[in-house]
Structure 1
Amino acid sequence: MKYRREFFRQLIHASGIIFIIISTYLNSLQMLILSVLAAAAGEVIFRIDRIHYIPLLSGILRGCRRNTSERGFIYYFLGMAVTYAIFGFSMDIANGAILILTLGDSFSTIIGREYGKHRLPFNRDKSIEGSLAFAFSGFIGALFIIGPLPALTGAVTGALVEAYTPVEDNLTIPVFAGAAILLSGHLMGAP
């Protein structure tokens, strides 16, 4: 049952791809505003849910909660907002970093919890299998938006950040992945 709940939580997390689709119609400022509004709406719903049951939403919220973080979904939207604020000059970089977060974090949790046998020496809560799943899925997802080297460096950086960040990696992963994408693009001679 616990695995099923986490799988559902990660499925909701992966639905963040909807933001990538929406971004094809909006600019970075509009995406920044949308992300902040989603975080604010999430906080309001979270607070109301603590007092009153909200049909449909309460079930989703309660299914997505972890013992370590009740507001992970809010940090997810804030991580998107920060990413659009920093890398908004290039929607490809911003969206590549967000895809790395969205897919990488979801697959690392699912694979790591189900198949993770080899613990990372510096973080016993994480597994090598989960980190490899993060890097692979983040890389594949980012390839739809950016080139192979930026996708690879962004995904590997995201996996390392996820492995080292103790909590709320939804804020740190897309920022560091975006920086790696930008840096690798510059090293390749991209403008």
Structure 2
Amino acid sequence: MEKENFRQLIHASGIFIVFVNIFLSPIIAILTCIAIVLIVEAIFRIDENRKVFFFSFILRKCKRKNDERGFVYFFIGIILTLYLFKFNIAIANAAILIFLLGDSASTIFGKKFGKRPLPFNERKTLVGTSAFFIVALVGALTQLPLIPALVGALCGAITEAYSPIDDNIPIPVIAGIAMSLVVYLI
């Protein structure tokens, strides 16, 4: 499996946080994210001096060059989303699913099938952005009705298309804000 595909599989596996949020609570989900960050940071430190069984293998398989702590931003985006939208678990979950599934789909499909770059961002492709939107919409529909899910997926796809390299924080937050506006104002 290619490095980036493996990385995106790990990225999408963050879906377990949605289940923690549904079956336990937003606070438990936030504490779980914090615990994961602290444990992984400790393992990073240990791994600098001696290889840690299995962790070193996963790290080599999915780490990008010059991206020492991308996973921290990944969890900050999720934690911030859980906190900001704790008043509506469905919105929080939909925003996280849009981020996890859409972002992974955009990378996998964009790299594999994307030929035409977006006119405003040459690092992103039309195929990748379309894949983001479709997969994010399907994920959001598991939590919300069509209109808020559609708006959230669209705002997430636009955010990803315009974003610089690290979009782990803005995608779920902007998607969550957009869906909240639809749910509470329409």
TM-score between the two structures when normalised by the length of structure 2: 0.94
1: distance between equivalents of 2:68 and 2:109?
A: 22
In structure 2, the residue matched to 1:177 is 175
Query: Larger deviation: 92-101 or 41-50?
Result: 41-50
Alignment of 1:1-191 (within 5 A): 4-188=2-186
Query: Larger deviation: 139-148 or 161-170?
Result: 161-170
8 Å contact from structure 2 (residues 8, 107) kept in 1: yes
> Equivalent pairs: percent with the same residue?
45
Gaps of at least 5 residues in structure 1 are: none
SS in 1 for 2:122: strand
2: distance between equivalents of 1:82 and 1:61?
A: 25
Letter of the aligned partner of 2:170 in structure 1?
T
8 Å contact from structure 1 (residues 80, 174) kept in 2: yes
Matched residue pairs, number? 186
What is the CA distance between 1:172 and its match in structure 2? Answer: 1.1
What is the CA distance between 1:68 and its match in structure 2? Answer: 4.6
Cα deviation, 1:92-128, whole Å, max 9, x if unaligned, reads 1111000001100100000000011110111111101
2: distance between equivalents of 1:68 and 1:179?
A: 31
Cα deviation, 1:65-112, whole Å, max 9, x if unaligned, reads 112523222211111111111111111111100000110010000000
Letter of the aligned partner of 1:170 in structure 2?
N
2: distance between equivalents of 1:183 and 1:68?
A: 37
8 Å contact from structure 1 (residues 150, 185) kept in 2: yes
1: distance between equivalents of 2:148 and 2:99?
A: 14
Letter of the aligned partner of 1:47 in structure 2?
R
Letter of the aligned partner of 2:38 in structure 1?
A
8 Å contact from structure 2 (residues 106, 129) kept in 1: yes
Give the root-mean-square deviation of aligned CA atoms.
Answer: 1.4
TM-score between the two structures when normalised by the length of structure 1: 0.92
8 Å contact from structure 2 (residues 26, 86) kept in 1: yes
What is the CA distance between 1:133 and its match in structure 2? Answer: 0.4
Letter of the aligned partner of 2:25 in structure 1?
N
8 Å contact from structure 2 (residues 20, 28) kept in 1: no
2: distance between equivalents of 1:161 and 1:68?
A: 23
Instruction: Give the ranges of 4+ consecutive aligned residues of structure 1 lying more than 3 Å apart after TM superposition.
Output: none
8 Å contact from structure 1 (residues 42, 73) kept in 2: no
1: distance between equivalents of 2:176 and 2:43?
A: 30
1: distance between equivalents of 2:48 and 2:145?
A: 44
Letter of the aligned partner of 2:47 in structure 1?
D
